[in-house]
Amino acid sequence: MSTRLIGLSLGADHCWPACFEEIVRRLDLRADIGGETVDFAVERVRVEPYDLRAKPRYDLVLDRITHWFPTTREWVKKIALMDGVYVFNNPWMIQAAEKHTTYCAMMRLGFPIPETWLVPPKEYPDETDTQITIRRYNELFSLGAAAQKVGYPLFMKPYDGGAWRGVSKIDDEKQLHASYDGSGKQVMHLQKAVDGWDLFVRAIGIGPQVNCIKYDPAAPLHARYVVAKDFLDDAGRRTMERYARVINAFFCWDYNSCEALRADGVFYPIDFANACPDSQVTSLHYHFPWTVRSLIAWSLYCAATRRKPRINPNWQPYFDIADQDLPFEDKLTAYEKLALDYFEADRFAEFRATTLKHLDEACIEFFGTERAKQIFREKVSLLFPKHEIEIFTDHFFSQVQDWRADEAARGK
């Protein structure tokens, strides 16, 4: 018997890792992998000093903090580079591919990204070399003229993104200058707003699995992920699924979300470098079990098969398609084929249907238990005032029961 050890590299996450651990334990999986019987264990990663030549115990690490926690980031890079440990997500792409790079890359592939400009920061550090560079080479420019070329209304937001940090909707030049004056040393994008949009979609991608969710950015945080069915036709759903798979495979991201606005039938990607997407029951509610189940399925597959990390992304095949004289829809189809190959989608589907044939049943059962409700209550207790804890615990648990009923009906 060989054990595959899955490490959960966590920060403030609470509910999804607790559910992940419970379901894997209850599943008690034994898998025949190449004639070898394999079982699985889950452990939370601890932060400690380490020898760069030390061999890690993990076969896979599901990481949630390297985008902001440098000690773990450097450890994750070491175990992927030196030891071949598969990591969600590629840490170099997390570190290097900020919003600006993702916009540029998807523009290069022909995605309908709204008009976007980068402008120099309002303020600079008071350092000798920086000040010399500014005096010698910084061109005086008209912020208003740049905004006119982008077109109002527009959004000003940091080029590297970060949980709605510093994002402003701007309707005129007065608002433009006020937002820019308050941006300090941040490098900012000006991005044309998508006029007349009628649908906001977030597509959560985990490996080759994609869940398209209607999103309401104006709602309270616990209600932004809308419980809605049939809000997309088949063509729209396929478009969003392809967007998510292509973007994630391109950047070697296993777990990411892609936001897009629909206007006049076109889906405009506006934010798709979210490689630590919201995963809490207090945000996802009805959609939470799908996320946990999909994380388990992809984690077990990657650990079982000892999937190897792709240290360097291979972008040239995408560029070769982009340079062909083809309609974007045809290119998108070809891009998705590359993405499905990257995610070993056929092999994963077979693993899901055979080795993990009891996973759906295990998830449906678990999310109806008192243990699941207890985990939800613990999460709610961390975010809500005392007098609302039971109200919202019951609310989120009820929404998850609706998911269970829908899944049970779908399985019949």
Assign domain 115-192 one CATH number from 1.10.20, 3.30.70, 3.30.1490, 1.10.40. 3.30.1490
Rg of the Cα trace of the chain? Answer: 23
Query: In this structure, is the dihedral angle defined by the CA atoms of residues 100, 103, 109 and 114, taken in order, positive or negative?
Result: negative
pLDDT attached to residue 395 = 98
The pTM of this model reads 0.94
The 3-state DSSP class for residue 176 equals helix
Residue 120 C-alpha from the chain's centroid: 28
C-alpha 102/C-alpha 95 separation (Å) is 12
The values of phi and psi at residue 153, to 5°, are -70, 155
C-alpha 151/C-alpha 75 separation (Å) is 44
412 — pLDDT class (breaks 50, 70, 90): low
In eight-state DSSP terms, residue 138 is P
The predicted-structure confidence for 240-264, as pLDDT tens digits, reads as follows: 999 999 999 999 999 999 999 999 9
Instruction: Give the DSSP letter string of 342-354.
Output: HTTHHHHHHHHHT
Give the pair of three-digit tokens for residue 314.
């291979």
308 — pLDDT class (breaks 50, 70, 90): very high
Across 81-95, 130-144, 355-369, which has the greatest mean pLDDT?
A: 355-369
pLDDT attached to residue 159 = 87
C-alpha 156/C-alpha 255 separation (Å) is 26
pLDDT attached to residue 124 = 86
Give the pair of three-digit tokens for residue 297.
């399925």
> Is the pLDDT at 281 greater than 80, yes or no?
yes
- What are the domain boundaries of the chain? 2-96, 115-192
164 — pLDDT class (breaks 50, 70, 90): low
Nearest Cα to 96, choosing from 252, 246, 249?
252
pLDDT attached to residue 140 = 87
C-alpha 408/C-alpha 280 separation (Å) is 23
C-alpha 70/C-alpha 42 separation (Å) is 23
Across 1-5, 88-92, 112-116, 139-143, which has the greatest mean pLDDT?
A: 112-116
168 has which bridge partners? 156
pLDDT attached to residue 275 = 82
Mean model confidence pLDDT for the chain = 94
Please enumerate in sequence order all residues whose Cβ is within 8 A of that of 331, keeping only pairs 6 or more positions apart, or say none.
109, 110, 321, 322, 324
pLDDT attached to residue 94 = 83
97 — pLDDT class (breaks 50, 70, 90): confident
390 — pLDDT class (breaks 50, 70, 90): very high
Q: Which amino acid is at 121?
A: P
Nearest Cα to 203, choosing from 109, 123, 294, 107?
294
Q: Does the structural domain 2-96 have CATH classification 3.40.50?
A: yes
